[in-house]
Structure 1
Amino acid sequence: MQEDSCANREIIQKQQEHWEKIFSGNPSKFGEKASQPAMWAADIFKKEGKTKILELGAGQGRDTLFFAKEDFEVCALDYCKAGVLDIKQKAAENQLSDRIKALQHDVRKPLPFNDNTFDACYSHMLYCMPLTTSELEFVSNEIRRVLKPEGLNIFTTRHTDDPQYRTGIHRCEDMWEIQGGFIVHFLSREKITRLSKGYEIIEIKEFEEGILPKKLFMVISRKKNK
């Protein structure tokens, strides 16, 4: 994969350490309740008969556990070791280990799965992590590779109408380091279209979450057949 020219690459790469500290200090940083996008996604998956789900950027597993409790088979990946350990522990405590597989993985590297493995992929705010546009293109291509024909890719991202866009410290492209030391990549509709090559975009849903509130897109797309 081609490297991007980004003057703050070292700072961006240290985000993994930042997240490790956040997760290690609080096993339920974002609470135990599933996110609203996970609930929306579950309804879509059920309507389409999608049962084998890949979750990227799973964090500490609040959505992972929700999907498993809804009878989905979930493979959850995150690049933080602390988050993966939390997911495995919570899966065991809830007797869901047979439905949840958790792995530590950096999505800037090829996904460790064969082609056409999953019915659907879900990620909540992975696309607004400090990944460059070319890295996000790589992620989207890898997701497409491991999805079965007609597979769904559902992801959320903060976007360029968010109140924190262009605030804080500019790090690279449309990435800004905001309060708390988090670097956020704010995506435009145009960039989402670019990242959706090889997919049919079904819907781009606008919603809000948390304080401020954060403004997000939920992108629902389907793998195109070659």
Structure 2
Amino acid sequence: MDSWNSIFKEQGKVFTKPHRDMKGIVDLLKERNAKRVLDLGCGGGRHLVFFASQGFEVYGLDAATSGIEIARNWLAENNLNCNLTIHRMEEKFPYEDSFFDAVISIQAMHHNKVKEIKFTIREIKRVLKPDGIIFITFPMFELLKKKNPWPLEKIEKGTYLPLEGPEKGLPHHFFTEREIYKAFKGFDIKKIYLDSSKHRAILGFKK
């Protein structure tokens, strides 16, 4: 995640507002009396601050050390607590089985090859409590082509590397909707929809 480490160093927080649908996720969590939330690929901490301010016990995991430092400072500025970990999501998570009530991951998990993403999905299932909630977003391939005019190298089915630009050399994997259902077969997927940023948003529960 060297690309995003550099991006955070150069640009700071990058994202400052939570995902537009996160208020609805908070309402769902409160309805289900959920307490402990993991933000996987938390970056500069926009969702950590949001969930911590709502009274949740929040954990953030990201491989970008500069992003974690930004998140730490942002939380401190708001007198909020959070357990932050510098860790790669394609490695076993440093949490016990059935530890979290919910796992969110916004515009982060696609930065890997499909084998590593499927490992991450298995780890999400492991650390979630039974019937735990997932809210995860993945980009559409059309969005990458529109947003990033740089040449791309296809390295496997559905996975591309930008050859120029700030995310040069960073994998971008694109699932079809059918592939999402297959990859998340250990979950009861309630809905998949296009969010306001034209990413596929997934809401589901651990079986």
TM-score where L is the length of structure 2: 0.89
* SS of residue matched to 1:151: strand
Q: Secondary structure at the match of 1:135?
A: helix
Contact 2:152–2:161 (Cα < 8 Å) also in 1 = yes
* CA deviation after TM superposition for structure 1 residue 102, in Å: 0.9
Aligned length: 200
Which string of whole-angstrom CA distances, capped at 9 and with x for unpartnered residues, describes residues 147-186 of structure 1? Answer: 1111111101112453627973124232334573424222
Given candidates 18, 42, 49, the residue that maps to 2:3 is 18
- The offset of 1:39, in angstroms, is 2.8
- Offset, 1:197: 1.9
In 2: Cα distance, 1:153 partner to 1:185 partner: 19
* Aligned mates of 1:91, 1:171 — CA distance in 2: 38
Partner in structure 2 of residue 221 of structure 1: 204
Equivalent residue, structure 2, for 1:91: 75
* AA of the residue aligned to 1:91: L
**Which letter maps to 2:45?**
G
Task: Pick one of 177, 189, 204 that aligns with 1:201.
Answer: 189
1:59-208 matches, cutoff 5 A: 59-97=43-81, 100-129=82-111, 131-162=112-143, 164=145, 168-173=151-156, 174-178=158-162, 180-182=165-167, 183=170, 184-208=172-196
SS at match of 1:176: strand
Which residue matches 1:4?
A: none
Q: Does 1:52 align with 2:21?
A: no
- Equivalent in 22, 25, 35 of residue 41 of structure 1: 25
Gaps of at least 5 residues in structure 2 are: none
2:13 and 2:67 in contact (8 A); partners too: no
Q: Given that residues 160 and 188 in structure 1 are in contact (C-alpha distance below 8 angstroms), is that contact kept between their aligned partners in structure 2?
A: no
Distance between the aligned counterparts of 1:85 and 1:181, measured in 2? 20
Aligned counterparts of 2:93 and 2:42: Cα–Cα separation in 1? 14
- Percentage identity across paired residues of the two chains: 28
| Alpha-carbon distance change, 147 to 163 in structure 1, aligned in 2, over 3 angstroms | closer
| TM-score, normalised with respect to structure 1 | 0.82
Q: Which moved more, 1:37-46 or 1:185-194?
A: 37-46
RMSD: 1.9
